[in-house]
Amino acid sequence: MPAKNRDLHGNAPDESGAALLLIDVINHFDYPGGRALARHALPMARRLAVLKQRARRAGIPAIYVNDNFGRWRSDFRGLVERCRTPGAPSRPIVELLTPAEEDYFVLKPKHSGFYATALETLLHYLGAETLVLTGLTADLCVFFTASDAFLRDFRILVPRDCVASIDPDEKTRALHRMAKALNVDVRASARLDLAALARRSSRRRGRTTGESTEWKFRGRPGRRVL
């Protein structure tokens, strides 16, 4: 009998008690309200870039959980390149948050990062029990992903300075609702003890075998490895 697959055939080699999710940060903003969102997203992206660097030093993997924006023939590389178009409002944000070789990504068809994706399987292989949710938007995709994470018994943190919405008041209301209904920790990113989050908890999540998928971001944007 073959040995149990411990790292999804090399596609999820990291082990960490936490994972950093960057939700819809690779975003073209060419929809109603998009340019207003981009204005709020840029300062958020600067803070998130710092948080991502800190997470990497702490050994916490980054997972880009991104909408396909209705482009069913596109892939992650194509989306990144489209958002780099000169003059596009997305360009400065993508330049700050360009995926690195060691990052993971999951394309999602709906609001939640868990719906019809392999995110949960990936998190099990990584051993993550705590999720740090960041990105766009606090009142929609971040909120729905947090709700699904809550139903799956993850510990959830949403650093309030690393999410944005078209309307800042909607962001404030969403953070309040997540804190109250989903027990989400919404402290600022500078106050997160990432080293502590990365440690394996005493209740290790079991590694499960799951569907074959494509996750690892290696080098060029959008290259996915089986």
The runs of H, that is alpha helices, within the chain are 34-58, 76-83, 91-96, 119-126, 141-151, 168-181, 194-198
- Domains in the chain (CATH in brackets) are 18-198 (3.40.50.850)
Beta bridge partners of 62: 20
Site of tokens 């309030």: 160
Whether residue 88 has pLDDT greater than 60: yes
Mean pLDDT lowest for which of 41-45, 81-85, 190-194? 81-85
CA distance 161 to 38: 15
Query: Residue 203 has which token pair?
Result: 């209740």
Chain segment 91-110, per-residue pLDDT in tens: 999 999 999 999 999 999 99
